[in-house]
Structure 1
Amino acid sequence: MRLVFAGTPEVALPPLEALLASEHEVVAVVTRPDAPSGRGRKLTPSPVGQRAAELGLEVLKPAKPSDEAFKARLAELAPDLCPVVAYGGLLPQSVLDIPRLGWVNLHFSLLPRWRGAAPVQRAIMAGDEETGTACFRIVKELDAGDVYRMESQPMPDATAGEVLAHLSESGAAQLVETVDAIAAGEEPVAQESEGITLAPKITVEEARLDFGRSAAELRNQVMGCSPDPGAWCELDGERLKIYRAAVVDDATALAPGELLLRKNRVLLGTGDGLLELQEVQAAGKKRMTAADWARGGHSGAVLS
């Protein structure tokens, strides 16, 4: 089949590579426009856009998917199907109607749980014990289309970034299998209408830590917000980001927010239990182990 792939971040690269290695033909790629990046804020192509250009594929970068020039070019390409992985733009019905067999999305959750832009992040923050991927037909309603494939797996002890990277690799094969099935005439099944939860993008304010919460809740917040936007708190009026943490079984008494450096471990008091800080970033500094940071005189400090 003729495919036009839509995706933007690095997590979309393994599915793109898998489709390129399949029996189907990827004739073009749709991605978000170039965005400022780095200290110089130079306009930089998305990871998908950059990889497609390296491969000599046509790259479409509409400011909006509703742009008439984009719709006209997509129609000229005459795709049979458009696979999508983390594209980042809402597709109007006029665009959904262009490919002969519609659009199919690889989504990083067990639908209908966690419909939206941050499914893995929300699942970790909620303490979900399982995660997975789903391939479904895109419709106008957010992540509500009929489902072709769904695979679950235990939630690993990992950050959101690490879980997404893992799911993109396992989901790549699932997406190719789904495209093969669609080519063979397989129809999807209706998505469950009960158990719907939404997964909007996490705001910076939402990532702020409240040390009155339990150690388990704070661990989930830290891991779910890592690497972006990064869970954070303040020390002496300056922001401290925490990228990795774990719950500790220790009877040491620490007030909420109080730090203790003990044998290369940084313990933090919470509203219920202790948290071990493992990776942090102070304002104006690089990411480092929490122990290296705490040796700079921060043991005994109180975070807020």
Structure 2
Amino acid sequence: MRLIFAGTPHVAVPSLEALLASEHEVVAVLTRPDAPVGRKRVLTPSPVKVRAQAAGIPVLEADRLRGDILTEIESLAPDAVAVVAYGAIAGPRALAAAAHGWFNLHFSLLPAWRGAAPVQRAIMARQTGSGVTVFRIDTGMDTGDVVAQAAFELPEADAGAVLDDYAERGAPLLVAALDAVAAGTADYRPQAGESSHADKITPDEARLDFRASAPEVSARARGVTPQPGAWALIDGKRTKLFGVQVYRSGSPDHLSPTDPQAASPTVPQADLPPGRLTRRGDAVIIGTGDGAVSVTGIQPFGKPRMSALDFHRGHGDIDFDLEETP
């Protein structure tokens, strides 16, 4: 088939690569316009645009599917449009521009977690499994007929790592689904089961509440990593936290007994009050409402990121604020 590929971030690149290696012809790539990145706000092309240009594929840029961009899409007469994290909604005219329709690779088992942050929400909900779905886009929000699905484990990793994994594993499923569409053998199935919604993660949701249990704190931290990033307050100042995991002290690491920072590994983690940061062997941990979490990196307000061990060496035991954000 003649395909247009619509995508923007790096998690869309594996699917573009897979389609370029397939029997289909990618006649153009649709992506969002260059965006300012970093403190200096340098205009930067999307990862999909960079890969398309390297492959010599024409690039269409639009943050909304209306007006001239629709005329350009229609002039290409695509058989189908493959979509992975493009970031804009296709209306009726756009959907009608492709003979077979638009097909989206979504990072959940639909109808679970419809929306912008399916992996993040699944992690924060403490699920142990999820997956990917290829569906034909309709005018609803991730409500179209399913063409293919694959279930995967949801490991104790941050959302960024899981998304990268699902992007790689979902790419061949997207190609196979489009192969079936081209062959006329695609099985279009209405979504079945209970639906849930995956709204974009807000910065306020990334604040860690150390009064919750250790698994709950870890799940929230992993779900908001890398963006917008986990944080908590120390003396009212926002402090970013990295590598937050449930602390398991069954076989703690030991430091040299001459190390003045060494803490007794025999102290039960449950004795730590919520929000108290301290050290156990080679681990820096924070007390929670039930148990503790370990943390590998800390970025104090207005300062560079450092290892949690270096932070503890400089600050010693310290308490995070537990009251609500004003």
Q: One fold, TM greater than 0.5? A: yes
Aligned to 2:240: 241
Q: Is the 8 A contact 1:244 1:280 kept in 2?
A: no
Cα separation, 2, equivalents of 1:285 and 1:191: 51
Aligned to 1:18: 18
Structure 1 residues 270-281: aligned runs within 5 Å: 270-281=288-299
Cα separation, 1, equivalents of 2:281 and 2:68: 62
Counterpart check, 1:268 vs 2:267:
no
Cα separation, 1, equivalents of 2:129 and 2:297: 24
Note the C-alpha offset of 1:47: 0.9
Aligned to 1:4: 4
Q: Is the 8 A contact 2:147 2:189 kept in 1?
A: no
| Alpha-carbon displacement from aligned partner over 1:162-197 (angstroms, at most 9, x marks no partner) | 000001001011111111111011233333343101
Aligned to 1:291: 309
Aligned to 1:32: 32
Cα separation, 1, equivalents of 2:142 and 2:63: 22
Cα separation, 1, equivalents of 2:152 and 2:46: 29
Larger CA deviation: 185-194 vs 50-59: 185-194
Q: Is the 8 A contact 1:248 1:275 kept in 2?
A: yes
Match of 1:254 among 261, 272, 291: 272
Counterpart check, 1:229 vs 2:228:
yes
**One-letter code aligned to 2:7:** G
Counterpart check, 1:141 vs 2:158:
no
Q: Is the 8 A contact 2:63 2:88 kept in 1?
A: no
Structure 1 gaps, min length 5: none
Q: Is the 8 A contact 2:146 2:191 kept in 1?
A: no
Structure 1 residues 131-210: aligned runs within 5 Å: 131-210=130-209
**One-letter code aligned to 1:267:** I
Q: Is the 8 A contact 1:258 1:301 kept in 2?
A: yes
Q: Is the 8 A contact 1:32 1:87 kept in 2?
A: yes
Q: Name the count of aligned residue pairs.
A: 302
TM-score by length of 1: 0.96
TM-score by length of 2: 0.89
Query: Which protein has the larger Cα radius of gyration, Structure 1 or Structure 2?
Result: 2
Q: Is the 8 A contact 2:137 2:143 kept in 1?
A: yes
Cα separation, 2, equivalents of 1:293 and 1:140: 50
Identity of aligned residues (%): 48
Cα separation, 2, equivalents of 1:288 and 1:139: 47
Aligned to 2:125: 126
| Alpha-carbon displacement from aligned partner over 1:246-274 (angstroms, at most 9, x marks no partner) | 11234231111001112221111111111
Structure 1 residues 149 and 30: CA distance shift in structure 2, 3 A: same
Aligned to 1:53: 53
